[in-house]
Amino acid sequence: MTEHKKQTIIPIGPYHPLQEEPEFFKLYVEGEKVHKLDIELGYNHRGIEKISESKHFDQVAFAVERICGICSTSHPFAYVNAVEDLAGIGVNDRIKYIRSIIGEMERLHSHLLWLGLAGHFIGYNTVWMWVWKYREPLLDLFEFITGNRQHYAMFKIGGVRLDIANNDIPRIRKMCDDLIPAIDLFRGAVMDDPVIQSRAKGIGTLTKKEAIDYCAVGPIARASGIDIDIRRDNPYAAYGMVEWKVITRHSGDVFDKIVVRILEMYESIKIIKGCLKGLEKEPEGNIDLKIKNIPAGEGIGRHEAPRGEVFHYVRSDGSNRPVRHKIRAPSFMNVATNQITTTRGTVSDAAITLGAVDPCYCCTERCVVIDKKTNKKILSGKDLIRLCQEKTREISGKLNKKIE
């Protein structure tokens, strides 16, 4: 009698309590062991690159903000870097400092948010409630500086929208000081807790070689021992002007991914404090260079988002709109690493392993047509846009009938 192996498919998604966003994972399971993982993306595709071609340069900064809510500063940050690269604009120090402060505050809020959700994924809701409680003062500060809790809309080409008054600086500094004991608390709670250690240590391991093969970026790469950080490797804004260091760990398991993010929060606070020191010396006002014309040409912009490197490419033909706007988000690389990491564990670990990359699918969803045999792109950007419009009209007609 031959042994007949039975495979069960466990679907996670599209609507699943684990996920904020609709995404579909198929776990092929033998007994308890995960054998294979299928990732199906596309539930979140909204065609942002195409939309951004229909907006003028100033509007795009606010449109790309709507790609993702959690890292809603990183896309405008990379976009203004790209346009300023295109037009050859150099901004003054005050603008640089304010941009870096907002970028780092966002990293703090994003890492706190993820830490809470990680606790939620492993069923440790106390961590979730704690962390989100201490995240609120940070959101209050965002509201105080920018007027919004989320979607800060601070970035514009050649400047920032709002200034940080010099007499508000002590308040920001106090918030940073208040946050340090809270992060100490999480560090103690997470790193010394036997429950979290047993759920996270040695789970979902990604080795250094695999991280390189999958082009992992951000905290995922740094937890596997790859020392990359755009802020240090290719300094922009004020990151080259303040003291801080890149955090790396070596084993690449879920525990290290948690530790990297917790320790990065201390560095973010260090950067914010350094920037505030610089900001005090700069005269107030003077936060907008009032750029009128964007010349023809192309530019790239990069930013180290909380999840890794964001890449924006902008091409202009001298008109007031980008002709092409290409976005590559960090989760696009990081989500693929799930294919290795989940197959090393059981079903019960799949939740935290999938969650550990801090996935952000709304950033990730792009569209490319590829020939399966040769792996070549068979359609140019123009073809794709034309096809999209035709197909959409056709399918949308059918779909409307079906729904009614």
Partner 1 sequence: MNKLILKALTKSINVYHAACSPCNNCDIEILDCLTPRYDLERFGMTLVGSIRHADAMLVTGVPNMKTAKRIKLVYEQMPKPAVVIAIGSCACGGNLFRNSYNFVKPLDEIIPVNAYVTGCPPKPEAMIMGVVKLIKALKAG
By the rule CB under 8 A, 350 interacts with partner 1? no
By the rule CB under 8 A, 136 interacts with partner 1? yes
Q: Which residue has the tokens 């990293």?
A: 107
Compute the least distance from the CB of residue 404 to partner 1, in Å.
8
Query: Rounded to whole angstroms, how far apart are CA atoms 392 and 275?
Result: 48
By the rule CB under 8 A, 51 interacts with partner 1? yes
Spatial neighbors of 396 by CB under 8 A, at least 6 apart, are none
Query: Rounded to whole angstroms, how far apart are CA atoms 252 and 304?
Result: 19
Compute the least distance from the CB of residue 135 to partner 1, in Å.
8
The one segment of 66-74, 198-206, 291-299, 309-317 that binds partner 1 by CB under 8 A: 66-74
Q: Which of residues 380-399 bind partner 1 (CB under 8 A)?
A: 388-389, 392, 395-396, 399
Strands 24-30 and 155-156, bridge-based pairing: unpaired
Which of 90, 339, 63 is CA-nearest to residue 214?
A: 339
By the rule CB under 8 A, 368 interacts with partner 1? no
Q: Which of residues 18-37 bind partner 1 (CB under 8 A)?
A: 20-22
By the rule CB under 8 A, 68 interacts with partner 1? yes
Computed over its alpha carbons, how large is the radius of gyration of the chain?
A: 22
Compute the least distance from the CB of residue 97 to partner 1, in Å.
26
Compute the least distance from the CB of residue 183 to partner 1, in Å.
17
Compute the least distance from the CB of residue 126 to partner 1, in Å.
11
Q: Judged by CB under 8 A, which of 11, 31, 69, 235 binds partner 1?
A: 69
- DSSP assignment letter at 69: S
By beta-carbon proximity to partner 1, the closer residue of 113 and 354 is 113
Number of residues in contact with partner 1, rule: CB under 8 A?
Answer: 44
Spatial neighbors of 403 by CB under 8 A, at least 6 apart, are none
By the rule CB under 8 A, 360 interacts with partner 1? yes
Phi-psi map region of 375: left, alpha, beta (phi>0 left; psi -120 to 50 alpha): left
By beta-carbon proximity to partner 1, the closer residue of 170 and 397 is 397
Q: Which of residues 142-181 bind partner 1 (CB under 8 A)?
A: 149-151
Cα angle at 293 between 287 and 298, to 5 degrees? 100
By the rule CB under 8 A, 320 interacts with partner 1? no
3-state secondary structure 331-392: HHHHHHCHHHHHHHCEHHHHHHHHHHCCCCHHHHCCCCCECCCCCCECCCHHHHHHHHHHHH
Binding site for partner 1 (CB under 8 A): 14-15, 17, 20-22, 42-48, 50-51, 54, 63, 66-70, 72, 113, 116, 128-129, 132-133, 136, 149-151, 360, 362, 388-389, 392, 395-396, 399-400, 402-403
